[in-house]
Structure 1
Amino acid sequence: MVAFELAVQDAHGLAVAARLGVDRVELCSALPLGGVTPSLALIEAAAPGPPAHVLVRPRAGGFTYSPDEVALTVSDVRHAVAAGAAGVVVGGLRSGVVDRDLVARVVDAAGGAAVTFHRAFDALADPLTALDTLAALGVARILTSGGPGAAADGLPGLAKLVEAAAGRIEIMAGGGVRPALVEALVATGVDAIHASAKRAVADATGLSLGSAASGVATRETTDEDEVARLLAALTA
């Protein structure tokens, strides 16, 4: 059975994940920025539900981190696992290849909790060599769209990665996943499918906060109906 991972960024998403029985959640904050490390309180709130794999990303933007950012990442990994995370999700690059030092330190700090390498993988010029590197470092799975675009465009790449992985490391498909794409993704042989299944909600704010315009701001949250459709497609 192909597993389903739901990207969640708030308490509503956690409730949806528990109610519908997803296999696990990727827990983060600020999904519109690609996700950053969530608060410890949100990690603790996830504990009663499906296993939570916490995104540990110290900032938005690229994936080449300074020594201080690497140290912050490693510390956040320890805190996330201590707070009940079943695993962590990280990604780091150095000169166009996997940042081996960062990943090795994260695997050590995770203390046996599963480590997923996120879609920074899709920025690599040589994904097959990167797959070998991550498997050797003890990473449990790779989140990838099979290339730099959406998963719908990366089906051949996903199939090639599954073949190359040969059971050494899981391949999880993500990137623009919708219910109509699930059957084709499953056919590639991936171990899991990842989706955010989100919808926009308009909130009255009355003032400007960051990039939100005064008056009405739009935020994203989990769309329960879309999650149900994704799960139905997986079990069809």
Structure 2
Amino acid sequence: MGIAVEIAVQDVVGVRVALAGGADRVELCSALGMGGLTPSAALIAGAVAEARDTGRDGFVHVLVRPRGGGFVYDADEVALTVADVRFAREAGAAGVVVGALNDSGAVDAEAVAAIVDAAGPLSVTFHRAIDVAPDPVRAAERLAELGVARILTSGGAERSIDGVGMLRQLTDRVGGRVQVMAGGGVRVDDIPEIVATGADAVHLSARDAVHGSPSGPGGGAATYDITDARIVRAAVETAKRRR
């Protein structure tokens, strides 16, 4: 029946909306506007508690990304990532979402191996850093060797719907060894074509922007993101139809 749905959320309310809308899991993060960064300790704890209260221990997957500006990390940044992965594990998360590349754009195998080791029993997703790799298929094969459970990819395009050719290649080559999750500008109307690629899951933020109180000079924009319950429900209903 269809494919799994993952919703990127930035707060406990988003977790609650995704649970109520029937999503399979969430990617918990902050700063989605810049591609997502590691959420706070309190947010991780709150999200895990919210999911556990509804009997969904496997629901919260935590993005661990130390900064924006690419995916090539020095030793200190890798160490911080490993420490944050361990914290997410101790806090009760079901999985972590990570990514690291070397200077040539290939998978940083040493960093990923350290992260997988730190994650232990948690499910490890390699995020859209794979879309920067010069050879995404080879990258996916290497990630399978390293024990990564899932890759999040747009097929190398800005939007997943424009990368369906690569999504098909990935599912053909690594399907059964690594789950392929399509993400990147996904709209509900795109989901049937994405399902047809053989992808295992679809990932979207289901975001809407609302106006808050005036933030004043130095306070940033007056708008902030929320998770739109209508989009979540529509995505789940569309994704769960038969292939």
TM-score (norm: length of structure 1) = 0.95
Confirm or deny: 8 A CA contact 1:5 1:25 kept in the other structure: yes
Indicate the percent of aligned positions where both proteins have the same amino acid: 54
Give per-residue Cα distances to partners, 1:68-117, cap 9 Å, x unaligned. Answer: 11100000000011001100000111021101111000000001211000
Q: Which amino acid in structure 1 is aligned with residue 16 of structure 2?
A: A
1:120 aligns with 2:129: yes
Q: How does 1:1-236 map to 2 (within 5 A)?
A: 1=1, 2-47=3-48, 48-49=50-51, 50=56, 51-95=59-103, 96-212=105-221, 217-236=222-241
Give per-residue Cα distances to partners, 1:46-89, cap 9 Å, x unaligned. Answer: 22324111000001111011111110000000001100110000
Distance 1:101 1:148 in 2: 27
Q: What is the CA distance between 1:210 and its match in structure 2? A: 4.6
Aligned to 2:193, the other structure's residue is in SS state: helix
For the aligned residue pairs, the C-alpha RMSD in angstroms reads 1.2
Give per-residue Cα distances to partners, 1:184-209, cap 9 Å, x unaligned. Answer: 00000000000000000111134234
Distance 1:208 1:17 in 2: 34
Unaligned ranges ≥5, structure 2: none
Confirm or deny: 8 A CA contact 1:116 1:140 kept in the other structure: yes
Label 1:45 to 1:102 Cα distance change in 2 as closer, same or farther (>3 A).
same
Label 1:210 to 1:120 Cα distance change in 2 as closer, same or farther (>3 A).
farther
Q: Segments of 4+ in structure 1 off by > 6 A?
A: none
Distance 1:87 1:231 in 2: 21
Q: Which amino acid in structure 2 is aligned with residue 41 of structure 1?
A: A
TM-score (norm: length of structure 2) = 0.92
Give per-residue Cα distances to partners, 1:130-179, cap 9 Å, x unaligned. Answer: 11110000000000011132101001110110000131100000001111
Distance 2:161 2:145 in 1: 29
Confirm or deny: 8 A CA contact 1:123 1:148 kept in the other structure: no
Aligned to 1:68, the other structure's residue is in SS state: helix
Distance 2:215 2:163 in 1: 42
Confirm or deny: 8 A CA contact 1:147 1:154 kept in the other structure: yes
Confirm or deny: 8 A CA contact 1:182 1:230 kept in the other structure: yes
Confirm or deny: 8 A CA contact 2:11 2:47 kept in the other structure: no
Q: Which has the higher contact order (CA 8 A, sep 6+)?
A: 2
